[in-house]
Amino acid sequence: MSRQRLGQHFFHDLGWCKRILAALPLAPHQTWIEIGPGHGEMTQLLVGDGRRIVAIETDRRLAEGLRATRDTDPRKWPGLEIVTADVLATNIGDLATGKIHIYGNLPYYITSPILHHLFRWATRIASIHIVVQLEVAERIAAHPGVRDYGYLSALCQFYAQPKIALRIPPGAFRPPPKVKSALLGMTLPGEQANLNIVGESEEKHFLEFVQTCFSQKRKTLRNNLLGVASDKGIHEAIATAALRPDARAEQLTLAQFAALFAQLA
């Protein structure tokens, strides 16, 4: 399957690649995992300064092409390793020791599954910088009270501190996508470090709880939570957490979700 059919568009403008590079927390001797290197448009800029670059490419032809380019002149591609694999089936923790930085020009239609997958190794990841659809980047970076704020926002902000670093026009790519794009930067850890959510099991249950709160955005928390608690219990928990009786999930901070979760637990 071609990369275009997989949903990714290649950078053809070196100027935009250099602008992205300038927005990355690049330093000597780091380990970077690149998702979807394509022809190596960004890879050629990431290598050097003693960095180890692990490029994960699911398209076998592209992986072989990048490998051939590297092997033709290895001195221009120091520290580059190429892994032919689907990132969603890859154990990120097995690829490197110590802290990891991640960069990727992601297929837009699987942005959310990839982020869910990466967050399994959140304690090992120092930063994530991904090129995604602008609309998705805005949702991830949205704050409570804003229309775009939803479960994906809460999930990403639980693990990381997201910020839109660059807005990228369609003309920066070949073929140009039909939507605007953005470089989304995320520094880890996120709000999780400030919440009393301890252990993998509680973390899993908390995020499931938040997802339930957002299950129908137009409904109140009380309505969305009736499947997991009694109406009386929900009413008391909302009052104890100092929330309005008609509060909706889109109005709550992660700290407020955590307080409500603790009350209902």
Q: Check whether 224 has a pLDDT greater than 80.
A: yes
Rounded Cα distance between 82 and 224, Å, is 45
Q: Check whether 208 has a pLDDT greater than 60.
A: yes
Query: Mean pLDDT over residues 80-94, rounded?
Result: 97
Q: Check whether 5 has a pLDDT greater than 80.
A: no
Q: Check whether 2 has a pLDDT greater than 60.
A: no
In this prediction, residue 1 carries a pLDDT of: 32
Q: Check whether 119 has a pLDDT greater than 80.
A: yes
Query: Mean pLDDT over residues 122-138, rounded?
Result: 97
In this prediction, residue 132 carries a pLDDT of: 95
Q: Which residue has the higher pLDDT, 107 or 111?
A: 111
Residue type at position 258: A
10-192, CATH topology level: Rossmann fold (3.40.50)
Domain with CATH 3.40.50.150 in the chain: 10-192
Domain with CATH 1.10.8.100 in the chain: 200-264
Q: Check whether 201 has a pLDDT greater than 80.
A: yes
pLDDT band at residue 217 using 50, 70 and 90 as cut-offs: confident
Percent of the chain with pLDDT over 90: 87
In this prediction, residue 93 carries a pLDDT of: 94
18-59 pLDDT, tens digit each: 999 999 999 999 999 999 999 999 999 999 999 999 999 999
Question: Which two tokens mark 21?
Answer: 């590079």
Q: Check whether 68 has a pLDDT greater than 50.
A: yes
In this prediction, residue 8 carries a pLDDT of: 65
**The three-state (H, E, C) secondary structure of the chain, written as one string:** CCCCCCCCCEECCHHHHHHHHHHCCCCCCCEEEEECCCCCCCHHHHCCCCCEEEEEECCHHHHHHHHHHHHHCHHHCCCEEEEECCHHHCCHHHCCCCCEEEEEECCHHHHHHHHHHHHHHHHHEEEEEEEEEHHHHHHHHCCCCCCCCCHHHHHHHHHCEEEEEEEECHHHEECCCCCCEEEEEEECCCHHHHCCCCCHHHHHHHHHHHHHHCCCCCCCHHHHCCCCCCHHHHHHHHHHCCCCCCCCHHHCCHHHHHHHHHHHC
Spell out the CATH class of 200-264: mainly alpha
Rounded Cα distance between 102 and 111, Å, is 14
pLDDT band at residue 261 using 50, 70 and 90 as cut-offs: very high
Mean pLDDT of the chain: 94
Report the candidate in 146, 141, 144, 260 with the shortest Cα–Cα distance to residue 210: 260
